[in-house]
Structure 1
């Protein structure tokens, strides 16, 4: 690490390739530091997202009107355009941190899975030795400007986010639900066009059918069947705008066994037949 006015640090900067930018997440910069007694950063704003992990000591992190004292194992996140500052906390032990700055349209959803939000951009008791290994690997790849592997860097980046979204063996999901319900929602989102049924969803859940119904209703405001219908109806409405597809093609594409059952479901949902909807949307 190099000595600076208020810290010893290593700053690693990365210029993402077009391949990386075509993905949902890419590294901008990363690094590590050991704070001096006069350590302070900000107040300022940054242009990207940046997660900082407290490895040792204590940091006083200020966001908005709140200042929190974060110790070993805690993480805090800087959001683009939001004013922040942080400094050495009330601790005689030297502050040490890792950080990772990144961009991409998946950044904020992935941060939510860890437990961050713009209103509460920190979590405690999260950083583990496995995360340090993943971070070190990312930094090694970024350090090797000429020979780094784009796919491996992307893989390690997602691996780090996946492992940070676990706490005490339990996943943290943006729906705020248990593991089985998240799997159900992802299953329906992925396979609704393949004619999956509520029975299939219950099998994925591995819990009683009535429990699936209750939890889906609490989280989504819809039963599993209603959620599947909504997914199919939205997709069918989108496909009806394509004059190259006939209505039977669309019915079979969104998981219905025949034109009749599709037309009945569509008319009930939208209050008009698929033919009427298609004429209206293409006029």
Structure 2
């Protein structure tokens, strides 16, 4: 660590390249310190986002003319354009902090999701053993290259994942307005894999029969037929290109070509080979069935 009149500190600076800037969040500066009795910051205004984790001791954090004493396990944040200052607060233990500066299009949402706000840019008691261990990983002695950049970004997301509390309203809501969009998103994402209606019902934590009944009433189509429609529309798209029928069957998660051919024939009224030949012969685009 380096030594100044105010502290012992270690700091690492990163200059994002074009690859980094394509991500949702990227590191700019990492640091940690051990404060001396005269420790304080001047008035600060940043052009990026920052978090200071209190690892030991206490710090007095001033923001928008408000003051708060933060202790071990707390964290305070600084957002672009706001003014802050902080200094050592009386404590039986020496102040030690870890700080992270970052930027990126997802930074505002991540800070908000963690619970930081303009009125209260701090969180109390967020530190856990897992979070502390994750913070320590920021300081592994490795060169900064693309591999390390990806590792650091992963660690940043992990830090926010550990700080963001589960939303009790989301886990307790059983209304259709909550779980139907989630079930649709799940099916839209994984329909090419071997998911079943039971898998979807498990994802939204509902009994399969109840889920199917309520989904059908709300969407006007059963979840079985919704999955079937997704797969068959994708099958028609793939058959319109160069893929073999056996390849399409595998890509859509069918156990064999026979099962795929049976499902396709039932949906479109003709087997996939005949359907493709007719389409290519007529040059007419297919009409999707509801």
TM-score computed with the length of structure 2 as normaliser: 0.62
Report the alpha carbon displacement of residue 200 of structure 1 after superposing the two structures with TM.
8.9
Deviations 1:112-159 (A, max 9, x none): 222111221111111122222222222226x62358533222222212
Report the alpha carbon displacement of residue 190 of structure 1 after superposing the two structures with TM.
6.1
Query: 1:41 — aligned with what?
Result: 41
Query: 1:177 — aligned with what?
Result: 169
Report the alpha carbon displacement of residue 2 of structure 1 after superposing the two structures with TM.
0.8
Which deviates further from its counterpart, 40-49 or 199-208? Answer: 199-208
Report the alpha carbon displacement of residue 188 of structure 1 after superposing the two structures with TM.
4.5
Query: 1:155 — aligned with what?
Result: 154
The 1:190/1:207 distance shift into structure 2, 3 A limit, reads closer
Report the alpha carbon displacement of residue 208 of structure 1 after superposing the two structures with TM.
8.0
CA RMSD of aligned residues (A): 3.7
Q: Distance in 2 between matches of 1:158 and 1:83?
A: 25
Specify the SS of the correspondent of 2:42: strand
Query: 2:139 — aligned with what?
Result: 139
Question: In the alignment, is the contact (CA less than 8 A) between 1:75 and 1:124 conserved in 2?
Answer: yes
Report the alpha carbon displacement of residue 23 of structure 1 after superposing the two structures with TM.
0.7
Question: In the alignment, is the contact (CA less than 8 A) between 1:180 and 1:206 conserved in 2?
Answer: no
Q: Give 5+ residue unaligned stretches, structure 1.
A: 213-223, 226-248, 259-283
Query: 1:126 — aligned with what?
Result: 126
Report the alpha carbon displacement of residue 76 of structure 1 after superposing the two structures with TM.
0.7
Deviations 1:84-124 (A, max 9, x none): 11111132421100000000011111112221112211111
Q: Give 5+ residue unaligned stretches, structure 2.
A: 192-197, 212-217, 220-284
Report the alpha carbon displacement of residue 77 of structure 1 after superposing the two structures with TM.
0.5
Report the alpha carbon displacement of residue 66 of structure 1 after superposing the two structures with TM.
1.3
Report the alpha carbon displacement of residue 194 of structure 1 after superposing the two structures with TM.
9.2
Report the alpha carbon displacement of residue 184 of structure 1 after superposing the two structures with TM.
6.4
Q: How many residue pairs were aligned?
A: 213
Question: In the alignment, is the contact (CA less than 8 A) between 1:20 and 1:154 conserved in 2?
Answer: no
Q: Distance in 1 between matches of 2:147 and 2:188?
A: 39
User: 2:74 matched to 1:78?
Assistant: no
Question: In the alignment, is the contact (CA less than 8 A) between 1:184 and 1:204 conserved in 2?
Answer: no
The 1:53/1:17 distance shift into structure 2, 3 A limit, reads same
User: 2:103 matched to 1:103?
Assistant: yes
Question: In the alignment, is the contact (CA less than 8 A) between 1:35 and 1:95 conserved in 2?
Answer: yes
The 1:194/1:6 distance shift into structure 2, 3 A limit, reads closer
TM-score computed with the length of structure 1 as normaliser: 0.63
Q: Distance in 1 between matches of 2:124 and 2:114?
A: 11
Query: 1:206 — aligned with what?
Result: 205
Deviations 1:216-240 (A, max 9, x none): xxxxxxxx86xxxxxxxxxxxxxxx
Specify the SS of the correspondent of 2:5: coil
| Structure with greater Cα Rg | 2
Question: In the alignment, is the contact (CA less than 8 A) between 1:60 and 1:69 conserved in 2?
Answer: yes
The 1:88/1:19 distance shift into structure 2, 3 A limit, reads same
Q: Distance in 1 between matches of 2:172 and 2:37?
A: 47
Specify the SS of the correspondent of 2:169: coil
Q: Distance in 2 between matches of 1:61 and 1:129?
A: 24
Summarize the alignment of residues 213-228 of structure 1 with structure 2, pairs less than 5 Å apart.
none
Deviations 1:24-66 (A, max 9, x none): 0000001100111111112220111001100011111111121
